[in-house]
Amino acid sequence: MGQLTESQLVAISIMERACSAVSLLGCLFTIATFTCFRTFRAKPVNRLVFYASFGNMASNIGTLMSRAFLDDLESFGCQFQAMLAQWFMAADAGWILAMAINVYLTVYHKYDMKRLHRMELIYLPACYGIPFIPAFTYLFVRRNGKRVYGDAVLWCWVAADFEGLRIATFYGPIWAMILVTFSIYIATARTIFKIRKQVHDLSSDYDLASCTSAELPTVNVTRATTPRRGFGSQQGFSRRRSYEHKNAAWSYTKCALLYFTVILVTWIPASANRVYSLAHDGHASVPVAFMSAFVLPLQGFWNWIIYVFMSWTACKTLMQDIKAKFSPVRKIPWPVKKVPSNRSRPDTGPGTC
C-alpha cells in the first residue's frame, strides 16, 4: 500500500477524526433526546436507531484513534481499536436488517408497536452478540507468531495477512445482511406502494369529509326512533383504524428505506476499497481510500440525519421550548384606566375591581 504518501495518511487521519467527532455529537443527540423526551419515542423505528447509536458511538471511539497506534501493533490501544471496529461497524448493518424485518412484520402480519417491541429482545443479542464472538476471539489468535489484529492502513483492524477472515467475518456477513434487506424490500414493494396509495386516498377522504361537514348547514329533526347501534359510526371507526395502521406502516417503511440507502452509501465505497486491494496485490486506490475514510466514521451522523428528519415535529417543539426557556421575559406594563370620581358613589375601599 505504498501509493499513500505520508501527507495523504495525515490527511486521512484528520478526516477520520473530524467525521468521527461529528458522528459522536449526532449519537449523543439521539440518545439524549430519546431518553429525555417522550415525543421522540413516538415512532417505533426510533427505538432501533436509539439502540444502534450505542454501537455507532463505540465505533466512533475507535475511528477517533485513527492511525495513532499503528506504530505499536501489540499495544492495548491497537488491539482495542481493532476489536471496536470488528464488533460495532458490522452491528450497524444488523440494525438495518432488523428495520426491514419490522417492515415485513408490519405489512404482512399486522404487528403493532407492542409486538414490535418484543422483537427487540431478539434484535439486541443478535446485532451486538454475534459480531462480538469473532471480535473478541481475534484478540487471542496468532498465526506464525502474528496477531490477527494489525495494520489496516486506515486504523488497526484485521491485518492484510488474514484477508480471508476479513471476508468471512466482516464483509461477507455485512453484504449478506444487505442482500437480505434488499430482498425483503423487493418482495414487499408492491404491497408497500399499495399501502402508500391507500394512505393517500384515505387521507383525501378525511379531508373531504371534514370540509363537507364544515360547509353544510345543520338541520334539527325530532322524531321517535328505536335505539340501535350506529352502523355509520362503526364504519367510520374501522376506517380510522385502517388509516392509522396503514399510515404507521408507510411511515415506518419510508424511514427504513432511508436507512437502507444510507448503508449502501457507507458500504459500497468501503467494499470497493477492499476489492481494489485484492485485485491489485494489496495496493490501494487513493480516491477510494479517502472515500472509505470519509464514509465509515459517518455511520452515526447519517443515522442522526434521518432520525432528525423523521422526528422533525418533535425537534421543532424542543427548539421552541429551549428558546422560550432561555429568552428574556419582557415585562409588559399593565394598562391603568382612569375612573372619574363620583362623590355619590360609596367608597368600596382598597383592593376592589
Determine, yes or no, domain membership for 346: no
pLDDT over 70 at 333, yes or no: no
Cβ within 8 Å of residue 12, ≥6 positions away: 4, 66, 67, 154, 289, 290, 293
Determine, yes or no, domain membership for 1: no
Task: Residue 296: give the domain boundaries.
Answer: 6-211+240-324
Determine, yes or no, domain membership for 334: no
What distance in Å separates the CA atoms of residue 9 and residue 152, rounded to the nearest whole number? 12
Structurally, how many domains does the chain consist of? 1
Determine, yes or no, domain membership for 351: no
Determine, yes or no, domain membership for 39: yes
Q: Residue 302, Cβ neighbours under 10 Å: how many?
A: 21
Cβ within 8 Å of residue 207, ≥6 positions away: none
pLDDT over 80 at 336, yes or no: no
pLDDT of residue 332: 57
Q: Where are the alpha helices (DSSP H) in 280-311?
A: 286-295, 299-310
What are φ and ψ of residue 157, in 5° steps?
-165, -160
Determine, yes or no, domain membership for 66: yes
pLDDT over 80 at 178, yes or no: yes
pLDDT of residue 65: 95
Verdict on whether the full-model pTM lies above 0.85: no
Q: Please write the tens of the pLDDT for every residue from 101-146.
A: 998 998 888 888 889 999 999 999 999 999 999 999 999 999 988 9
Residue 134: closest CA among 88, 184, 70: 88
**Averaged pLDDT for residues 50-78:** 95
pLDDT over 60 at 331, yes or no: no
**Averaged pLDDT for residues 161-182:** 94
Q: Place 285 in a pLDDT band, splitting at 50, 70 and 90.
A: confident
Q: Residue 244, Cβ neighbours under 10 Å: how many?
A: 12
**DSSP one-letter code for 159:** -
C-alpha 139: how far from its chain's center? 31
pLDDT of residue 78: 97
Q: Place 242 in a pLDDT band, splitting at 50, 70 and 90.
A: low
Residue 138: closest CA among 150, 154, 126, 155: 150
268: which strand partners? none
Determine, yes or no, domain membership for 338: no
Sign of CA dihedral 155, 157, 162, 163: negative
pLDDT of residue 193: 76
pLDDT of residue 232: 52
CATH code, domain with 281: 1.20.1070.10
Q: Please write the tens of the pLDDT for every residue from 181-228.
A: 999 988 888 887 777 776 666 665 544 444 444 444 444 544 444 455
Determine, yes or no, domain membership for 173: yes
Burial grade of 318 (CB within 10 A; 0-12, 13-18, 19 or more): middle
